């Protein structure tokens, strides 16, 4: 009698996960940006405080929120633990950050004239951990980041918050400064096996008036994947506009035109391209129509695999519409060329680190008990291919 041994080998398909996240700084943020956020929310905070004051039965949570609101409304000044400490010491400036310390004497050689102004505020420790939670939950292979303060912060964040003791998760780390006057740069991190072959920045691109075309930047990345395919990532952060200014909308459209032009040129040699970043406009806005209407780029939120944690509040549109991104105040995008869109296996948007100004009706991290605990005002958008 003959016996036959049949061996079945199951090959696991290689997948690649790409994500975009406006992290809104990692360890410290410019004081102007913190102040601007406060001014935008002043009316809402005032109404909330008044509602808590007239509440008949208040609990400890209510009192805690009132104490927090009293700081936000300026009734009392907060005491921040500094990102670095500076003090006079024997006529010298003593600077300390962690285990690092240095002393300077005021003279023309030290570039210090006896006084210094601090322009940044440290980000809450819980918020920093929640930034890491958002990234670790999605666990992308390639992550584009907007609003990063510097390379040193990105390297430290990767080592201390995204990695374990044995392995550094992201082996490739690139950070580029932008035209932003508040020091918000852009970065990309990638896991082992992904090779960043080339980088191109449009930071010096000028408009017809001789001004910087991009208020932040528009960057091109060429990346070789472990399967030896080459993908092109176009990362950007378009001009912000909270007032609906016609002038700013016009400038954003010029910026979009430039990105669309570069995208179409790249299509001549590559069909795996993604346009990633904070476009600061809803998908129906004319200011980003050069990308969404004048090219074959498709928003990942329109893919059948796209998932999002639904809001259950009564003022939300039909859940299926919300799931497909129709009813979201979208600012962050993952736009894909036709071939890359066809290769999408799964996709979604992680909002667990975003604080709701009204009572949350969706799942957020339990550690987010206050606004200062939020990871960012932006969700992380991702796609798996």
Residues in contact with 136: Cβ distance below 8 Å, sequence separation at least 6, in sequence order: 162
**Which one of 117, 137, 164 terminates a domain?**
117
Q: Pick from 77, 99, 117: which residue ends a domain?
A: 117
Over residues 274-320, the pLDDT tens digits come to 999 999 999 999 999 999 999 999 999 999 999 876 655 434 433 44
Is 47 part of a structural domain of the chain?
Answer: no
Q: Tell me, yes or no, whether 172 and 143 share the same domain.
A: yes
Examine residue 189 and state whether it is found in any structural domain, yes or no: yes
The answer to whether residues 96 and 204 belong to one domain is no
Please indicate, yes or no, whether residues 380 and 316 belong to a single structural domain of this protein: yes
Concatenate the DSSP letters of all residues of 244-312 into one string: --HHHHHHHHHHHHHHHHHHHHHTTT-S-EEEEEE--S-TT-GGGHHHHTSSS-EEGGGSTTEEEPPP-
In the 8-state DSSP scheme, what is residue 228? S
* Domain extent for 250: 17-29+123-384
Helix (H) or strand (E) holding 348: strand 346-350
Domain co-membership, 270 together with 374: yes
Q: How confident is the model at residue 30 (pLDDT cuts 50, 70, 90)?
A: confident
Q: Domain holding 263: CATH number?
A: 3.60.10.10
Confirm whether pTM is higher than 0.85: no
State yes or no: pLDDT of 13 exceeds 50: yes
Same domain for 107 and 93: yes
pLDDT at 363: 85
Domain for residue 75, yes or no? no
pLDDT tens readout for residues 185-198: 999 999 999 999 99
Model confidence at 114: pLDDT above 60: no
Asked if residue 93 and residue 214 are part of one domain, the reply reads: no
Q: Which of 76, 99, 117 is the last residue of a domain?
A: 117
Is residue 70 helix, strand or coil? helix
pLDDT digits (tens, 9 = 90+) for 342-369: 999 999 999 999 987 665 567 899 999 8
Q: Is 129 left (phi over 0), alpha (psi -120 to 50) or beta?
A: alpha
Q: Tokens 């440290």, residue?
A: 122
Number of domains in the chain: 2
48 assigned to some structural domain: no
- Cα separation of 241 and 331, whole Å? 11
Two tokens at 382?
A: 């991702």
Distance between CA atoms of residues 132 and 128, nearest Å = 7
Residue 332, domain member (yes or no):
yes
Residues making up the chain, counted from first to last: 385
The pLDDT value given to residue 40: 56
215 shares its domain with 348: yes
Minimum mean pLDDT among 15-24, 67-76, 81-90, 326-335: which range? 81-90
Q: What is the pLDDT of residue 100?
A: 52
Are both 99 and 166 inside the same structural domain?
Answer: no
Close Cβ partners of 55 (under 8 Å, ≥ 6 residues apart): 62
The reply to whether 168 and 268 lie within a common domain is yes
Bigger pLDDT: 211 vs 34: 211
Is 60 part of a structural domain of the chain? no
CA distances from 66 to 193, 272, 375 (A): 50, 51, 22
Does the residue 106 lie in any domain? yes
Lowest mean pLDDT segment, chosen from 100-109, 118-127, 157-166, 370-379: 100-109
Task: Quote the mean pLDDT of the chain.
Answer: 82
Are residues 224 and 184 both part of a single domain?
Answer: yes
Residue 253 pLDDT > 90: yes
Q: Is residue 374 part of a domain?
A: yes
The verdict on 205 and 311 lying in the same domain is: yes
Mean pLDDT calculated for residue range 193-218 = 95
Residues 6+ apart with CB under 8 A from 131: 23, 26, 157, 161, 353, 375, 376
* 105 and 210 both lie in a single domain: no
What tens digit of pLDDT does each residue of 37-69 get? 555 556 666 777 777 777 877 887 777 777 777
Is 322 a residue whose pLDDT tops 50?
no
Confidence band, pLDDT 50/70/90 cuts, at residue 122: confident
Q: Across residues 92-101, what is the average pLDDT?
A: 54
b/e map of 267-306 (b: 16 or more CB within 10 Å)? beeeebbbbbbbbbbebebebbbbbbeebebbbbbebeeb
């Amino acid at each position: 009698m003959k016996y036959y041994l049949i061996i079945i080998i199951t090959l696991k398909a290689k997948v690649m996960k790409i994500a975009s996240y406006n992290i809104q700084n990692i360890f410290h943020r410019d004081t102007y940006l913190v102040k601007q956020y406060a001014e935008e929310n002043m009316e809402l905070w005032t109404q909330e405080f008044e509602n808590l004051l007239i509440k008949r039965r208040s609990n400890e949570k209510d009192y805690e929120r009132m104490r927090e609101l009293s700081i936000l409304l300026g009734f009392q000044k907060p005491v921040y633990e500094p990102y670095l400490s500076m003090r006079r010491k024997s006529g010298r400036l003593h600077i300390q950050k962690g285990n690092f310390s240095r002393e300077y004497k005021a003279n023309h050689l030290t570039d210090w004239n006896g006084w210094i102004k601090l322009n940044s505020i440290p980000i809450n420790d819980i918020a920093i951990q929640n930034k890491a939670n958002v990234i670790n939950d999605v666990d992308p292979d390639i992550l584009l980041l907007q609003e990063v303060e510097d390379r040193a912060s990105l390297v430290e964040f990767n080592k201390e918050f995204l990695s374990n003791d044995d392995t550094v998760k992201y082996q490739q780390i690139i950070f580029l400064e932008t035209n932003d006057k508040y020091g918000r740069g852009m970065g990309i991190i990638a896991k082992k096996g992904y090779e960043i072959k080339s980088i191109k920045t449009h930071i010096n691109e000028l408009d017809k008036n001789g001004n910087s075309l991009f208020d932040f930047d528009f960057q091109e990345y060429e990346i070789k994947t472990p399967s030896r395919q080459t993908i092109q990532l176009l990362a950007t952060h378009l001009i912000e506009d909270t007032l609906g200014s016609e002038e700013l909308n016009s400038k954003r459209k010029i910026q979009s035109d430039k990105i669309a032009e570069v995208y179409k040129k790249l299509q001549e040699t590559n069909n795996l391209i993604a346009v990633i970043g904070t476009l600061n406009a809803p998908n129906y806005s004319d200011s980003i129509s050069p990308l969404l209407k004048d090219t074959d780029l498709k928003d990942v939120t329109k893919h059948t695999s796209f998932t999002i944690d639904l809001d259950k509040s009564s003022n939300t549109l039909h859940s299926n519409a919300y799931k497909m991104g129709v009813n979201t105040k979208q600012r962050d995008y993952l736009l894909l060329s036709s071939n890359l869109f066809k290769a999408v296996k799964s996709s979604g948007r992680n909002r667990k680190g975003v604080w709701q100004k009204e009572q949350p009706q969706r799942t957020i991290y339990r550690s987010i008990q206050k606004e200062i605990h939020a990871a960012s005002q932006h969700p992380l958008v991702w796609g798996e291919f």
